[in-house]
Amino acid sequence: MEVFTLPEGKYAVFIHKGPASTFMQTLTYIYETWLPESPYVIDDRPHFERLQEGYHPADAEAEEEVWVPIRL
């Protein structure tokens, strides 16, 4: 493993709940609904997800955080 330091900045954080097969619905909401209606634009920094301990992609109760870098 390597250490990776995320550049400082503002992130919008969303929770996707459900199996990975429905993840595209969450991304569609973020990028096609929330972002255009917000005062923010995507910042040129890493996007990432945080998975809960014991995450399983087929679990209907699975949760993951979606971190989207934003700026005004």
Helix (H, G, I), strand (E, B) or coil at 66: strand
pTM of the model: 0.87
Q: What is the pLDDT of residue 1?
A: 87
- Identify which of 72, 68, 71 has the alpha carbon closest to the alpha carbon of residue 12: 68
* Residue type present at position 15: I
Q: In the chain, what percentage of residues exceed pLDDT 70? A: 100
Task: Tell me the Ramachandran region of residue 71: left when phi exceeds 0, alpha when psi lies from -120 to 50, beta otherwise.
Answer: beta
Q: Is the dihedral of CA 54, 63, 32, 12 positive or negative?
A: negative
Q: What is the pLDDT of residues 2-31, one digit of tens each?
A: 999 999 999 999 999 999 999 999 999 999
Residue 59 pLDDT class (50, 70, 90 cuts)? very high
